[in-house]
Amino acid sequence: MSANQVESNVRPDPDAELVAIADYVCDYEVTSEEALDTARNDLMDSLACLFMAQGFPEAAKHLGPIVPGTVVPNGARVPGTQFQLDPVKAAWDIGALVRWLDFNDTWLAAEWGHPSDNWGAVLALGDYLSRKAIAEGKQPMSMEMLLRYMVKAHEIQGVLALENSFNRVGLDHVVLVKIASAAVAAVMLGLDREQVIDTLSHAWVDGQSLRTYRHSPNTMSRKSWAAGDASSRAVRLAMMVEKGEVGMPSALSAPRWGFYDVLFKGKKFSFQRPYGSYVMEQVLFKISFPAEFHAQTAVECALALHPQVAERIDDIERIELTTQESAIRIISKEGPLHNPADRDHCLQYMVAVGLLFGELKAEHYEDEVAANPAIDRLRELMVVKEDPRYSKDYHDPDKRSIANAVQVFFSDGGSTDKIEIEYPVGHRRRRAEGIPLLEQKFLAALQQRFPRRQAQKVYNLCLDADRLNATAVNEFLDMLVI
């Protein structure tokens, strides 16, 4: 082997991208009142999704210890259950439930995702560490601390997503859940800056999920638990580093073997802005519909048109859906839809249900509803096209619109109005309208899962920011045992 073929074994300085995240989670102080209040709303919204998901057997079957009957002393609670688990499995359960119905918050950019997926790691680890602290005669964490951690988890996931498209190289966005959860979990465990960098390096080389399970012809329920799996893995890696596992300083940039060369086509990440509190302030809530977010305004349009078409379904000749490029790329589908996971990622299916029934609920994705032949007939009549302005405004950092328009044409030559909606009710521009609906969503989910008094007690606490902030994490989770 010639000299120029010999690889240097000199360990480089850590990748700057790892250092930037570590500096942020270790040193940045969250001062934005808007971000902290949005984090409180995000907690309510995420718990609502979790409680609703527990009513579906396909979600509930995954819950509990890996070895049945195992009880972990000082273990983490899984809200809405009696399980007390190790924090790794608890993170899996919480993360999977929050995501199961495709009803939790959303971030749309070059990469999309759901930053509240990180609640799996933050809630589970926060509860475990609080119970452990009490057993050792120390102070537990407060809920305010968890809300601050979630602002940082949102920020890491969202800022990485702004300019870097993982889906274009076939990777699933839950890689960013793993990164964000790993960084925050490391700090929650009390690790120092170098150990946070080590934890991040393990998360980046940890074998990332492909998007196979989100796309036809392979769409299936793994997309509902993939984020729980990622947040769980993040907690596991942070705990390994806590025990002394060292990291890989050039996990991203190592020639040939690093993340960039192996999985990102040799490109380095680019960044639009430094880490702060921007993402939590801008996050999108799915308040009205359990549906992939690119379709939210399309379903709003369909519901607005329902009164005009409900009595004329058989007279429909054509339905025009105008949308953004991202929606066309990931949720525009023709042909058979095989399961609920397939249907809640089909733009045409969601619009058809809205036109037919004037509503869209999680139950509409089940086989019993999908068997209605009118749904597939309407899907076949749909023409999907891109409006370049919608695509442009989708990426504009000052707008971040998610625009759709729907118009129905009849066989007699008539048509409905063209209904266009640019910002869904969960958008920052519609916060005043959306937050009361989010609170209603939370209360309804609590009442679905808990006795009336218990539900009202939790609801009242969450609406009182000062009182919630001062509540110990373990005490809050104890309130959510059924």
Compute how many other C-beta atoms are within 10 angstroms of the C-beta atom of residue 267: 11
Q: Choose between 112 and 147: higher pLDDT.
A: 147
Find, among 378, 384, 339, the residue nearest to 355 by Cα. 378
Cα distances from 84 to residues 59, 64, 73, 121, in angstroms, run 18, 8, 8, 15
| Residue whose structure tokens are 């918050």 | 105
Average pLDDT over residues 325-354: 93
pTM of the model: 0.87
Cα distances from 416 to residues 55, 223, 305, 404, 412, in angstroms, run 37, 36, 7, 16, 12
pLDDT digits (tens, 9 = 90+) for 31-45: 999 999 999 999 999
Kindly indicate the confidence band of residue 204, based on its pLDDT and cuts at 50, 70 and 90: very high
Query: What span, in angstroms and rounded, lies between the C-alpha atoms of 293 and 334?
Result: 19
Find, among 233, 166, 171, 158, the residue nearest to 202 by Cα. 233
Q: In the prediction, which pLDDT does 1 show?
A: 44
pLDDT digits (tens, 9 = 90+) for 355-383: 999 999 999 999 999 999 999 999 999 99
Query: What span, in angstroms and rounded, lies between the C-alpha atoms of 64 and 93?
Result: 7
Please provide the average confidence, as pLDDT, over all residues in the chain: 95
Q: Does residue 6 surpass a pLDDT of 80?
A: no
Query: What span, in angstroms and rounded, lies between the C-alpha atoms of 419 and 416?
Result: 9
Q: In the prediction, which pLDDT does 4 show?
A: 61
pLDDT digits (tens, 9 = 90+) for 415-436: 999 999 999 998 989 999 999 9
Question: ∠ CA(178), CA(438), CA(105), 5° rounding?
Answer: 20
Q: In the prediction, which pLDDT does 313 show?
A: 96
Compute how many other C-beta atoms are within 10 angstroms of the C-beta atom of residue 134: 14
Q: Choose between 86 and 288: higher pLDDT.
A: 86
54 with 72: CB under 8 angstroms? no
Q: In the prediction, which pLDDT does 293 show?
A: 86
Query: What span, in angstroms and rounded, lies between the C-alpha atoms of 414 and 388?
Result: 27
Q: Longest Cα pair distance anywhere in the chain, in angstroms?
A: 80
Find, among 186, 166, 188, 187, the residue nearest to 176 by Cα. 166
Query: What span, in angstroms and rounded, lies between the C-alpha atoms of 323 and 233?
Result: 35
Q: 457 is written with which tokens?
A: 């007690």
| Sign of the alpha-carbon dihedral angle for 252, 258, 261, 262 | negative
- At residue 284, φ and ψ (nearest 5 deg) are -100, 130
| Sign of the alpha-carbon dihedral angle for 175, 180, 183, 188 | negative
Q: Which residues does residue 318 pair with via DSSP β-bridges, in sequence order? A: 409
